[in-house]
Amino acid sequence: MKKQWSILRGLLIVGSLLAAGLLWQAQRSVAAPAAPVLLNGAGATFPYPIYSKWFDEYHKLHPDIQINYQSIGSGGGIRQVLAGTVDFGATDGPMTDEQLQDYKGKLGHDILHFPTVLGADVPTYNIPGFSGQLKFTPEALAGIFLGKITRWNDPAIASVNPGVNLPGNDIVVVHRSDGSGTTYVWVDYLCKVSEEWRTKVGRGTSVNWPVGLGGKGNEGVAGLVKQTPNSVGYVELIYAIQNKMPYGTVRNSAGNFINADLASVTAAAAGAAKEMPEDFRVSITNAPGKNAYPISSFTWLLVPATIADGAKRTTITDFLHWMLTGGQNLAEPLAYARLPKEVVSKEVKAISRIR
Amino acid sequence: MASTAVMVEGAPRPGRVRAFLLRLRSGDEVAHLITLVFASAILLITVLLVFELYRNSALSRERFGWHFLTTRTWDPVFENFGALPFIFGTVVTSAVGLLLAIPLGVGAAIFLAELAPPRISDALAFTIELLAAVPSVIYGLLAIFTLVPLLRTVVQPFLKKHLGFIPLFQGPNYGVGLLAAGIILAIMIVPFIISISREVLIAVPVEQREAALALGATRWESTWKVVVPYARAGILGSIFLAMARALGETMAVTMVIGNDPKITSSLFAPGYSIAAVIANEFTEATSDLYIHALIELGLVLFVLTIILNGLARLLILATQRKGTAHP
Amino acid sequence: MNYRMAWRKSVNAAMLSLTGLCTLLTVSVLFFILGYLVWNGAGAINWDFFTKLPKPVGETGGGMANAIVGSAKLLLLAALTGVPIGFMGGVYLAEFGGKTFSFLVRYTTDLLNGVPSIVMGIFAYTMVVLPMKHFSTLAGGLALGVMMIPIAVRSTEEFLRTVPSSLREGALALGASKWKAIATVVIPAALRGILTGIVLDLARVAGETAPLLFTAFNNRFWSPGWNQPTASLPVMIFTYAIAPYEDWHRQAWAAGLVLLGLVLLANITARVVLARKLSSVAG
């Protein structure tokens, strides 16, 4: 008995010494020669793969700078930016006018949108026995997500996919359970192509879904679709590619079934590039153009127009410059399209608005 | 003998504050004061917690009033929030969990208290208590990769085929859903039922058992008809405790419930619990009303668990008194 | 032997074996959990896991070094806040308590114990994160610390009460003042039980995820100091488990094994010590 007690006591002492030592080591390893600059950002999962690559690369170039980005969904990015708990946000659903007013009222200055890359939402599915590429019409997608089209062999899907043996199984719809810009892009598109969707459900980063399971983040939706037979969900293109999941083509406003890739996403942005508004908030879903992919979108970083901390301000502006030049080169290997030249030059000018 | 301040002829009576400070010179009073301060800190923190929950749900309470508890929609776009789908999901998953855990738990407790030799009983009870120490997120991790596929490929089709005439077992089969959450909850709360029930059963006076056996009862009859009813209140208390635990369980449930705020009659359907929706949507609630609605949900959950915990304590206390009372 | 007797005897045998089955089922769950984690996680535990930082999304490799250190820091902070309040509160209840105030303190401690962990997270968010305008280790540590208080109070009070009054009276008879008796005789006598109770408490909060989701948040890098968001083992397990990347699943298993291993180790050691102590006091 006494022996057990002294063993426990010894273990506790050794354990706490070890813990103290580890903590000390950890603190020292982080204390860089120059005062480290730490930025915290949160938001969209849509661009998470490219952002995490960027922040990792940037940290390699500038070891004293750490930009910690958490993908909690665009809704989260907007909310945390409004609460002032993060240094910058990220969203693929641009902030509404009310949200901009709200921000100005709460924090006393404006918040700026900076487009970073172009991406696409794709309908990814898991049909046992079929791994090819399905064609989807806008009516089919709206019907599936409204819960009106319930089986895979429904005529709305089968009629444009002749020769494909679609099973009669029930469709399992998967959507986002968190506030999401990917959702915003998807429902923005559905609002434009389906009057019923527009009046019944509407657009937002979180909506009242008529049917389906909820997954957390693009990662969660991809995970659910991958594990659930007969399911369909919407994810950002890179998530489908990285997880080797099949995704469908979508018919655009010109009547062509387009596969989401760099060319078709860039084509979607072509019109908007020339007429980009000053605040960069624009929707490019269902864009005109015969090769445009209809569910494309810009994605934005949300940066306050006034940053009191000098080091943080310099870091952010430097990062934005890098992002618009060297950073853009890293986008294409991850299946994100680069920003059009016109947008880049407009943005470079806009960076000077950060005081 | 009561002691009062000594009155010396002609000297002024010391003021109350001075008297207090004088008493403070003794170490006892200082120790008393220090521990009192810390104990009051506990009171303060709890009061603050309830106050903060109340204050930060004001927008939602004002807008929806009591209708909040009966509205079925949860619509962030049109800003119409109702708690009913989450109350439904929380109650249903906890009910399924309890339905599975009670027979299992009471059965195991009976075995451990009545049948197993003391040393084996202790060893097994020890192992079962370790189950209670397993973090919720690890239950969730296991559930995603073992329970959900098992439900989707084996259990739910089986139930559908043989019991499909009951609405509970109809509908599409995802694997994740109310049933999955209910089962993982059952596994998580069973150790609580077992350890408390085992203790109240052991506390039943041995005379009760012996009297039953002397009257010719079998072992089982003595246990089921005499000992268990005697310990009934305590066992019920353990059930309430387990229920309170199940209601507040967050991580494991979030990972397998399907995250869909709908009210359905099928156990295979995805649902949503109060704790799960807060975990998923809190950092992303884009408007103030949205956040206040989520916090109001937290308040509802808090009140539910308080009521259940209170009932549980009363019941367990009642049995303990009874068990030690002179027959 | 008539029918009725035979029937009662077979019911007896059947029900008793059923209860045995229930026990077997429950116990086997624990072994299943352990076994499954070892099976999937052991292979993923390597030197990288303990020393490297997470890699960008989609790339394989990397580790959870920052999460391990983050969890350690959170626990340290939780202990620093929860233990003093809980311990002193328990001492008050056992040694000094006035009747009504003690009842109030016990009632609120029970109330606090019943707070769901997610609600605790909300509390820490409104009290620490919002005013500081920062997710931080501090907020997470405080949330966990408040969760530790009720059990610390209860175990302190219970173990102080088990100290035989003969010890107390002996000290007082030798001329010690009340507080001296408590500090030098009563508390040391109960210390082993109290400490094991605290170790169990720590093991419990080490696995808590919900309160950290919007307080300590998460971090892909090291988190210096106490003001920044930090990674932690439970949050990493959650994030990686619901994602689709196989490599993340592999790491989640490893993290689960490490976390469960530590929690079980603490529990087993503490309970063994407690059991010995109780048997020694009873004798």
ipTM: 0.84
Amino acid identity at A39: L
- Round to whole Å and give the CA distance between C8 and B220: 9
* DSSP conformational letter for A146: H
Searching chain B, which residue's CA lies closest to the CA of residue C261? B134
CB contact under 8 A, B281 and A205: no
CB contact under 8 A, C127 and B282: no
Integer angstrom CA distances of residue C139 from C117, C130, C132, C145, C204: 14, 10, 9, 10, 18
- Answer whether residue C240 shows pLDDT above 70: yes
pLDDT of amino acid A245: 93
* A249-307 pLDDT, tens digit each: 999 999 999 999 888 999 898 878 888 888 889 889 998 888 999 999 999 999 999 98
Query: Which member of C179, C234, C264 has the closest CB to residue B31?
Result: C179
Please say whether the beta carbons of A175 and A233 come within 8 A: yes
- Round to whole Å and give the CA distance between C157 and B42: 14
pLDDT of amino acid A150: 92
Q: Which subunits sit against B, judged by 3+ Cβ pairs under 8 A?
A: A, C
Using 50, 70 and 90 to split pLDDT, how confident is the model at B44?
very high
Query: Which member of C110, C123, C253 has the closest CB to residue B313?
Result: C110
Using 50, 70 and 90 to split pLDDT, how confident is the model at C196?
confident
- Round to whole Å and give the CA distance between A313 and A322: 14
Q: Which subunits sit against C, judged by 3+ Cβ pairs under 8 A?
A: A, B
Least confident of A22-26, C58-62, C212-216: A22-26
- Answer whether residue A242 shows pLDDT above 70: yes
- Round to whole Å and give the CA distance between C44 and A117: 35
* DSSP conformational letter for A290: T
Averaged confidence pLDDT in chain A = 87
Query: Which member of C22, C114, C182 has the closest CB to residue B305?
Result: C114
* pLDDT (mean) for A46-70: 90
- Answer whether residue C250 shows pLDDT above 80: yes
Residue numbers of B between 286 and 325 with CB closer than 8 Å to A: 286, 291
* B203-246 pLDDT, tens digit each: 888 888 889 889 888 888 888 888 888 888 888 888 888 888 88
pLDDT of amino acid A32: 41
- Answer whether residue B82 shows pLDDT above 50: yes
pLDDT of amino acid A26: 54
pLDDT of amino acid C1: 62
pLDDT of amino acid B10: 47
CB contact under 8 A, B174 and A172: yes
Q: Cβ–Cβ contacts within 10 Å for residue C55, how many? A: 18
Please say whether the beta carbons of A242 and C58 come within 8 A: yes
- Round to whole Å and give the CA distance between C214 and B280: 10
- Answer whether residue A13 shows pLDDT above 90: no
- Round to whole Å and give the CA distance between C77 and A239: 38
CB contact under 8 A, A179 and B76: yes
Query: Which member of A205, A215, A228 has the closest CB to residue B286?
Result: A205
Averaged confidence pLDDT in chain B = 85
> Helix, strand, or coil here: A214?
strand
* B6-41 pLDDT, tens digit each: 445 544 555 677 776 666 667 788 888 888 999 999
pTM: predicted TM-score of the whole model, two decimal places:
0.83
Query: Which member of A27, A68, A216 has the closest CB to residue C219?
Result: A68
CB contact under 8 A, C256 and B309: no
In sequence order, the β-bridge partners of residue A299 are A117
- Round to whole Å and give the CA distance between A119 and A261: 9
Sign of the torsion angle spanned by Cα atoms C255, A66, A218, B256? positive
* Residue-wise DSSP of C137-172: HHHHHHHHHHHHHHHHHHHHHHHHHHS-HHHHHHHH
Percent of chain A at pLDDT exceeding 70? 91
Query: Which member of C33, C95, C177 has the closest CB to residue B134?
Result: C33
Q: Cβ–Cβ contacts within 10 Å for residue C142, how many? A: 24
pLDDT of amino acid A4: 60
The alpha-carbon gap from B48 to the nearest alpha carbon of chain A, in Å, equals: 21
- Answer whether residue A149 shows pLDDT above 90: yes
Using 50, 70 and 90 to split pLDDT, how confident is the model at A35?
low
CB contact under 8 A, B259 and A213: yes
Integer angstrom CA distances of residue A152 from A128, A247, C144: 11, 15, 48
CB contact under 8 A, A84 and C133: yes
Long-range pairs for C167-173: beta carbons < 8 A, 24 or more residues apart: none
- Answer whether residue A29 shows pLDDT above 60: no
- Answer whether residue B116 shows pLDDT above 90: no
pLDDT of amino acid A8: 65
* pLDDT (mean) for C171-198: 86
Q: Phi, psi (5° rounding) for residue A34?
A: -80, 155
Averaged confidence pLDDT in chain C = 87
The alpha-carbon gap from C180 to the nearest alpha carbon of chain A, in Å, equals: 24
pLDDT of amino acid B185: 94
Most confident of the ranges A19-33, B156-170, B301-315, C119-133:
C119-133
* C65-86 pLDDT, tens digit each: 889 999 999 999 999 999 999 9
In the structure encoding, which two tokens stand for residue C74, read together? 């959170």
* A112-131 pLDDT, tens digit each: 999 999 999 999 999 998 88
Q: Which residues of C touch B40 (CB under 8 A)?
A: 105
In the structure encoding, which two tokens stand for residue A174, read together? 């998967």
Least confident of A144-148, B156-160, B181-185: B156-160
- Whether B172 and chain A come into contact, CB under 8 Å, resolves to yes
CB contact under 8 A, C114 and B309: yes
Q: Which residues of A touch B283 (CB under 8 A)?
A: 42, 72-73, 76, 79-80
Q: Which residues of C touch B146 (CB under 8 A)?
A: 36
